[in-house]
């Protein structure tokens, strides 16, 4: 057997093992869309807080409700789009969306994400707006790192970037909205684009 054939066989075996142990149907376009939703949401929040001169530390019920609704809409749109595009990609590749790999991915990443969501919600209710952005970035990053072992390694590196950004946000108070927009908007768009050209586009061409 030639050396080229050996490398080809090893590559095929590695691909089969990856498909059996990792969830590889995540859509890069879902990351891009989530980033776009986040930037739009951040833009609306910026207008509400700064352009309209409400102020980020305003404690009015109306402002609190509006910010909560904006965050909820961004979250729902991101999750819905992710499920739709990931399901479509899985069907195109002839794979099941719900299997052992996706179950492990959700269980691993779900706990830090749920914990972070509850923590941020409590901060929001109590009016501790200054540390909401770092909390979002840190817990989201931890969730991605935890889930990254059951999918593409790129997800883990995105999580590490989110954690680093969250720590930086803590060191530079007063710019939480900007860091939040960069972490959930710009980084998601960059990550999603990279994922698309690295995995999705190749598969669609093939």
Q: Are 31 and 187 in contact (CB under 8 A)?
A: no
Query: What residues contact residue 196 under an 8 Å CB cut-off, 6+ apart?
Result: 27, 28, 29, 32
Q: What is the dihedral of CA 127, 131, 136, 138, to 10 degrees?
A: -150
Separation CA 2–CA 203 (nearest Å): 28
Tokens at 198, concatenated: 């690295």
State the pLDDT at residue 195: 87
pTM, to two decimals = 0.79
d(CA 159, CA 142): 6
What is residue 204's DSSP assignment?
A: H
Position 130 scores a pLDDT of: 84
C-alpha span between 38 and 96 (Å, rounded) = 29
DSSP per residue over 9-52, as a string? HHHHHHHHHHHHHS-----HHHHHHHHHHHHHHHHHHHIIIIIT
Domain boundaries, the chain: 34-58+104-206
Closest residue by Cα to residue 174 from 124, 147, 134, 142:
134
Least Cα distance to 193 among 37, 39, 32, 33 occurs for: 32
Compute the CA torsion angle 25, 26, 28, 29 (nearest 10 deg). Answer: 90
Q: What is the pLDDT along the chain (206 residues), one digit of tens a residue?
A: 455 554 555 454 455 444 444 655 678 888 999 999 999 999 998 888 876 655 554 556 677 778 888 988 998 999 899 888 888 887 777 767 667 777 777 888 889 999 999 998 898 888 788 889 999 999 999 999 988 888 878 889 999 999 999 999 999 988 989 999 999 999 999 999 998 888 776 555 44
Instruction: Give the C-alpha distances (Å, rounded to integers) separating 104 from 26, 90, 101.
Output: 14, 17, 5
What is the pLDDT, as a whole number, of residue 16? 44
Q: Supply the pLDDT for residue 202.
A: 55
pLDDT at 83: 84
């Amino acid at each position: 057997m030639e050396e080229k054939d050996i490398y080809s066989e090893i590559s095929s075996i590695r691909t089969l093992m990856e498909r059996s142990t990792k969830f590889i149907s995540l859509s890069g376009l879902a990351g891009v869309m989530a980033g776009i939703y986040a930037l739009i949401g951040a833009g609306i929040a910026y207008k509400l807080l700064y352009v309209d001169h409400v102020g980020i530390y305003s404690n009015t019920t109306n402002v609190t409700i509006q910010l909560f609704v904006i965050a909820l809409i961004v979250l729902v749109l991101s999750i819905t789009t992710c499920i739709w595009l990931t399901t479509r990609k899985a069907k195109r590749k002839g794979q099941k969306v719900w299997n052992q790999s996706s179950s492990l991915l959700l269980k691993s990443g779900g706990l830090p994400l749920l914990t972070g969501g509850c923590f941020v919600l409590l901060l929001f209710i109590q009016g501790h707006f200054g540390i909401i952005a770092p909390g979002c970035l840190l817990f989201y990053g931890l969730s991605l790192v935890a889930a990254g072992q059951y999918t593409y390694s790129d997800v883990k590196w995105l999580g590490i970037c989110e954690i680093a950004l969250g720590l930086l946000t803590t060191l530079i108070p007063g710019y939480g909205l900007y860091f939040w927009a960069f972490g959930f908007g710009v980084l998601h768009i960059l990550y999603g684009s990279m994922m698309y050209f690295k995995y999705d586009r190749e598969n669609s061409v093939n």
